[in-house]
Structure 1
Amino acid sequence: MNDPLVLYTHPMSRGRVARWMLEEVGAPYRAERVAFGSEMKSLPFLALNPMGKVPVLCHGGTVVTECAAICAYLADAFPDAGLAPPLAERGTYYRWLFFAAGPLEAAVTDRDLGMEPNIEQQGRVGYGTIEAVLETLEQAVSEHEYIAGPHFTAADVYLGSHIGWGLQYGSLEPCPAFTDYWARVSDREAHRRAKALDDQAMR
């Protein structure tokens, strides 16, 4: 996979997740900062992502948007990094990668916006209740060292980022399971490098 990697991002965005994943992969890449507002809504950028949002990953002629998809794509594109289990063992990996992208993000966002579903609406949303989501998540991060088993994977980059942000900004109540899991997954050189690069880009 010798095609150039380009990450379109902003240091105050979900692009931090993609940057961390790129640092875990260890392949050379170029980061292009895209300003919020008119630049993200410009025609050249909308040609990459019609949603007008970052992050966007370009790998040669392949364009990938959505953080969970970027994490999964990079894990597959660079298998030597060991960030995805063997195909026959990916059930748990896929489960929690997309649990974070679906029920967890939706439930936390709805609550933060004051839009928690009532009893009649709970059957119509993918997560049911935020209480069920958080109880499920707390149990999941307590069962193994990492979310998909004994080895760190792309699912830990994505799910861990959600938990880290939630603890930092108050959208998740601190509990031993969350704080311990975040401490484990963030204690990595790739995470420290990515954080330093994005923090520097904010200056």
Structure 2
Amino acid sequence: MEELVLYTNPMSRGRIARWMMEEVGQPYRAEILDYGPPMKSRDYCAINPMGKVPTLKHGNRIVTEVAAICTYMAYTFPEAGLAPHPDELADFYRWMFFVAGPVEAAMADHALGLDIPKEHERRVGYGNYGMMVETLEKAVQRHPYIAGERFTAADVYVGAHIGWGLTFGTLPQSAAFEAYWQRLLLRPALKRANALDDALLPARPS
């Protein structure tokens, strides 16, 4: 079996990829990279020229971008049951890419205090922050999970962003977001992933 290596940092989007790895249940090795010179080293940039984490190496294949890692793992290891069924495919891709594009951009701009002037809303993929939030709220209320009645890899990616947003204030507190996130918090793989990454965090001064 080709080795799976996850290059990550516990204070990064690598936490989402770690959750996905735990959901799939295949053996993998985590390479922890510190920010600064280690992440920008020549050796690592030969793997990921952006010098960012996470990156997945599977044998000789390289996958970057968290949404791509989640999708790749779901299809590469179908026995985990995380890839969409035919009737889930449209929602799987729709909401995976909605979060990877408009949601990520809107949350980042909002956190930085960047408000898009109304006359320029059509120039950005998310229009405005409120429109993005309303659309995402409706998405998580349609079914128990983002693509339908069962948990898929799309829930790892979408759910992680909602959990992050509720925790750090980049999304508003809402009953819809909270109900969806609470369902995902019951996932044993998420608990394992959080324990692994939390153990790597710098100790807080007492």
TM-score, normalised by the number of residues in structure 1: 0.97
Is the 8 Å Cα contact of residues 39 and 45 (structure 2) preserved in structure 1? yes
Structure-to-structure mapping, 1:52-201, within 5 angstroms: 52-87=51-86, 89-201=88-200
Partner Cα separation in structure 2 for residue 119 and residue 14 of structure 1: 31
Partner Cα separation in structure 2 for residue 83 and residue 160 of structure 1: 14
Partner Cα separation in structure 1 for residue 60 and residue 44 of structure 2: 15
Matched to 1:67, the amino acid is: V
* Unmatched 5+ stretches in structure 1: none
Structure 1 segments of 4+ aligned residues over 4 angstroms from their partners: none
Secondary structure, in 3 states, of the residue corresponding to 2:118?
coil
Tell me the CA shift for residue 88 of structure 1: 5.8
Tell me the CA shift for residue 86 of structure 1: 2.5
Partner Cα separation in structure 2 for residue 194 and residue 68 of structure 1: 17
Matched to 2:152, the amino acid is: T
Is the 8 Å Cα contact of residues 88 and 148 (structure 2) preserved in structure 1? no
Tell me the CA shift for residue 100 of structure 1: 0.7
Tell me the CA shift for residue 115 of structure 1: 1.6
Mapped pair 1:31 → 2:30: yes
Partner Cα separation in structure 2 for residue 88 and residue 165 of structure 1: 29
Tell me the CA shift for residue 89 of structure 1: 3.7
Tell me which residue corresponds to 1:44: 43
Is the 8 Å Cα contact of residues 8 and 34 (structure 1) preserved in structure 2? yes
- Deviations along 1:115-159, one digit per CA (max 9) or x if unpaired, are 221112101100101111100111110111000000101110001
Partner Cα separation in structure 2 for residue 144 and residue 83 of structure 1: 16
Give the length in aligned residue pairs. 202
- Aligned CA RMSD, in angstroms, stands at 0.9
* Unmatched 5+ stretches in structure 2: none
Is the 8 Å Cα contact of residues 160 and 186 (structure 1) preserved in structure 2? no
Percent identity of paired positions between Structure 1 and Structure 2? 57
Secondary structure, in 3 states, of the residue corresponding to 1:90?
helix
Tell me the CA shift for residue 23 of structure 1: 0.2
- Deviations along 1:46-101, one digit per CA (max 9) or x if unpaired, are 00111110000000011001100000000010001111113464111000011111
- Deviations along 1:169-202, one digit per CA (max 9) or x if unpaired, are 1111111100110001121110000000000111
Matched to 1:75, the amino acid is: A
Mapped pair 1:12 → 2:45: no
